[in-house]
Amino acid sequence: GVLWIGTRAAGVRRWNPATWAFGHVAVSSGGSSGLGAPYVTAFAEDAAGRLWVGTMGGGVAIFDRVSGASEQLRAATGALTDDRVMALTTDRAGTVWVGTMNGGLLRFAGDGKPLADRTQGMARLGPWLADPTGIRVRAGIALKVLAARPEVDASRLSAIGYCFGGTTVLEL
């Protein structure tokens, strides 16, 4: 496979060990495709095999590695609440989760569209609610990562949540 490398100032580099070829994903100059900013913060792969790239200030870029097409999710278009993406992950149900600096945690269906319908959202949460072990493990890891940050006083952490967030807090 190809190794994708995120940088702080030069966007995304990719290396194909089979051919020893290096490639570069360019930063878009205000377009709706390509990479929105050069500072890459996170990667995730969705159920369709597309690569989601989070950036600091440029939102999320979604790359279809087969067709070469890409699209951006940005706050300016209403797709995100904050363009400063701190974390990306996918769950067993195919939902892509986007953690932002000040815009909270967002969830997207694998097609890049926000989950707005309660029925659709609950169908994706079902596996997590049926077996909360995964919630405990992931929330525990996230808590450890947060507590290890130098600007965080781990002795003063607390958590609050509503709905699924409340369930997560109770599982901590």
Residue 116: per-residue pLDDT: 55
pTM confidence score = 0.65
Task: Count the Cβ atoms, other than its own, within 10 Å of residue 94.
Answer: 14
- Residue 164's nearest CA partner among 112, 127, 111 is 127
> For the segment 33-90, what is each residue's pLDDT rounded down to a tens digit?
788 999 999 999 998 889 999 999 999 999 988 888 888 999 888 888 899 999 999 9
